[in-house]
A and B are shown apart, each in its own frame.
Chain A
C-alpha cells in the first residue's frame, strides 16, 4: 500500500515563526502536492511538484514556499507564520502513469494553529 506520512499531526506556532511541514511518500511517485483544508472551502492547492527540485504554484501560494530535494520528500515552508494560516494541511502524492488516472494518495494531515 502507498503510504504518505506527515511529520506532525498537530502543531502550534507563534505569529512570525518560520514553520516547516514535512511529507514523505514511499511509492516512488513523481508528483507531490500540498493542500490546505478549511471549512466551507474544501481543499485548495498550495504548491505542486512534478520532479525533484521542480515546483509549480497552485491556487493559493502566497505566504508559502516549498522544497523538494529528494523524490520521496516534499516540504512546505511558512516563512513568517500568520494567524490566517491556521488550517489543516494535507500532503498527497501520485504517479505520472496515465493508467492510474493520476489518483492521489493522502497523508493524515497536520493541523496547524498559529497564535
Chain B
C-alpha cells in the first residue's frame, strides 16, 4: 500500500537556522507529493506540491524536490523565523487517486 514516513519531532531550532524535515514515501506509479502546514489552532494549509520527478515545489521560502530515485520529498528552508512554528505534514496522492495519505506530522518550534 501507500505510505509516508517523516522525521519524528519535535524539532526545535533557533531563528535563522537552516531547516530540513525528511520525508520518504512508498507508492506505486507516480504519486503527487505535498507538504501541508498546520499553525496553532488552525486547519491544514497547502504549503507546496510537486507532481512529477525532479519537480521542485516552493512557497514562503520553503522548498522540496521530488526525488523518485530515493522516493523522497524533503522540506528545506534556509533561514527559519519564529512565525514558521507549526506542525508540518508530508502527504501523497497516488496517480489518478484523490485520497491523500499523510505522514504523522513534525512539530517545529523556532525560538528567538
A residues neighboring B (CB under 8 Å):
4, 31, 33, 40-43, 45, 48, 50, 58, 90, 92, 94, 96, 98, 101-109
Contact = CB atoms under 8 A, between A and B. Distances in A.
A102 B98 contact: yes
B93 A101 contact: yes
Interface stretch (B17-25, B40-48, B69-77): B40-48
Interface string B98-112: 111011110000000
A50 B103 contact: no
Interface residues of B, number: 22
Contact of A90 (B32, B34, B43, B96): B43
Given A45-B99, A101-B34, A108-B41, 12 more contacts: A40-B104, A41-B104, A42-B89, A42-B104, A42-B105, A50-B98, A92-B44, A94-B98, A96-B98, A101-B51, A104-B100, A108-B42
Interface string B51-63: 1000000000000
Contacts of A43: 44, 89, 100, 102
Nearest to A56: B99
